[in-house]
Amino acid sequence: MAERPRFHLAFPVRDFAEARAFYGALLGCPEGRSSDEWVDFDFFGHQIVAHLSPNEAGHKQHNQVDGKAVPVRHFGTILSMTDWKQLADRLVEKKITFIIAPGIRFAGQPGEQATFFFRDPSGNALEFKAFANEEQIFAR
């Protein structure tokens, strides 16, 4: 089986020290290259780039998804169920404030998934999810 492509995402942050503490120390994302205006992180095998742009970070729009207010603008990744549980437990232990606490969405339906949402220090919303059966990722 061929290796899956990696995605690249650039996003605004208000402060690099906060971004490094959050993405590097809390989430465990190794730092790559950087400059005075951006920092690369290895986000679970994908390249994300925090760009210094304090006035652009954080958005508040939401849509209803399975009865929850999901931030329209968000990013994240799909983890194995084991890795998802470990990350959720670590964030609960660190007393992270969740937008949507760890739980199951679409229970008993196609696409059933474990998910949670929270914000980075700049207000960017992140979602982490896992599927008991990866064949359900695009189920209709």
Q: pLDDT digit string (tens) for 68-99? A: 889 888 999 999 999 999 999 999 999 999 99
Backbone angles phi, psi at 85, to 5 degrees: -65, -40
Task: Collapse the DSSP code of 41 into the 3-class scheme (helix H, G, I; strand E, B; otherwise coil) and give the result.
Answer: strand
pLDDT at 17: 97
pLDDT at 58: 67
pLDDT at 34: 95
Task: Collapse the DSSP code of 18 into the 3-class scheme (helix H, G, I; strand E, B; otherwise coil) and give the result.
Answer: helix
For the chain, domains (ranges, CATH) are 8-52 (3.30.720.120), 62-136 (3.10.180.10)
Q: Is the pLDDT of residue 3 over 90?
A: no
Please state, in angstroms and rounded to a whole number, the distance separating the CA atoms of residues 116 and 130: 10
